[in-house]
Amino acid sequence: MNHTRRMRLIPLIAFNMVTHALAQMAASHPQPQVQPKGGAPVADFVDVAVRAGLTVHTNIDSQRTRHINEMTGGGVALVDYDGDGWLDIFIVNCGPANAPAEQLAMNHLYRNNHDGSFVEVTEKAGLLHHGWSQGVSVGDYNGDGWPDLFVTYYGKNVLYRNNSDGTFTDVTKATGLLTESDLFSTGSAFVDYDRDGHMDLFVAHYVAYEEATSHDAGNGDSCKWRGIPVLCGPRGLRGTTDTLYRNRGDSTFEDVSGKAGIPIALNYGFTPLIADYNNDGWPDIYVANDSTPSLMLENNKNGTFAETGVLSGVAYNEDGREQSGMGADVADFNGDGLLDIVKTNFEQDTSTLYLNRGNGTFDDITFPGGLGVNTSFVGWGTGFLDFDNDGWPDILMANGHIYPEVDALHDTSFPQRKILYRNKGDGSFEDVSLRGGAGLLLRRSSRGAAFGDLFNSGQTNIVVNNPSDRPTLLVNRMAYKGHSLTLHLVGNAANPLAIGARATLTAAGRHMISEVRSGGSYLSQNDLRLRFGLGEAAKVDQVEIRWPDGRVDKLTNVAAGAIVTVQYGGKMTSTPYRTLPSLLQ
Confidence category of residue 17, pLDDT binned at 50, 70, 90: very low
Question: Looking at the predicted structure, is the pLDDT value of residue 132 above 60?
Answer: yes
Confidence category of residue 22, pLDDT binned at 50, 70, 90: very low
Residue 557 lies in a domain: yes
Residue 567 lies in a domain: yes
Whose CA is closest to 393, among 562, 534, 578?
A: 534
Pairing, β 472-476 against β 45-47: antiparallel
**Whole-number Å distance between alpha carbons of 270 and 242:** 10
**Number of structural domains in the chain:** 1
Measured CA to CA in angstroms, residue 576 lies from 18, 241, 387 at distances of 58, 46, 19
Q: How far apart are the first and last CA of the chain?
A: 51
- Res 71: pLDDT: 87
Confidence category of residue 60, pLDDT binned at 50, 70, 90: low
User: What's the average model confidence in pLDDT over 359-367?
Assistant: 96
Residue 21 lies in a domain: no
SS3 63: helix
What backbone phi and psi angles, to 5 degrees, belong to 112?
-75, 125
**Whole-number Å distance between alpha carbons of 246 and 544:** 29
Per-residue model confidence as pLDDT tens digits over 261-288: 999 999 999 999 999 999 999 999 999 9
**Whole-number Å distance between alpha carbons of 395 and 350:** 14
Three-state secondary structure string covering 30-66: CCCCCCCCCCCCCCCEEECHHHHCCCCCCCCCHHHCC
Question: Looking at the predicted structure, is the pLDDT value of residue 59 above 90?
Answer: no
Confidence category of residue 228, pLDDT binned at 50, 70, 90: confident
- Res 56: pLDDT: 76
SS3 565: strand
Per-residue model confidence as pLDDT tens digits over 447-478: 999 999 999 999 999 999 998 899 999 999 99
Q: Are 346 and 359 in contact (CB under 8 A)?
A: no
Tell me, what CATH number does 221's domain have? Answer: 2.130.10.10
- Res 219: pLDDT: 72
Average pLDDT, the chain: 92
- Res 407: pLDDT: 86
- Res 20: pLDDT: 42
Who contacts 225 (Cβ-Cβ below 8 Å, separation ≥6)?
403, 405, 406
Per-residue model confidence as pLDDT tens digits over 365-403: 999 999 999 999 999 999 999 999 999 999 999 999 998
Residue 259 lies in a domain: yes
Q: Which amino acid is at 221?
A: D
Can you give the residue range of the structural domain that contains 430? 45-584
Distance of CA 577 to the CA centre of its chain: 26
User: What's the average model confidence in pLDDT over 140-147?
Assistant: 98
- Res 10: pLDDT: 45
Residue 38 lies in a domain: no
Of 585 and 338, which is predicted with more confidence?
338
Confidence category of residue 69, pLDDT binned at 50, 70, 90: confident
User: What's the average model confidence in pLDDT over 293-315?
Assistant: 98
**Whole-number Å distance between alpha carbons of 501 and 549:** 9
Residue 419 lies in a domain: yes
- Res 131: pLDDT: 86
Who contacts 84 (Cβ-Cβ below 8 Å, separation ≥6)?
112, 114
Question: Looking at the predicted structure, is the pLDDT value of residue 537 above 50?
Answer: yes
Residue 162 lies in a domain: yes
Residue 528 lies in a domain: yes
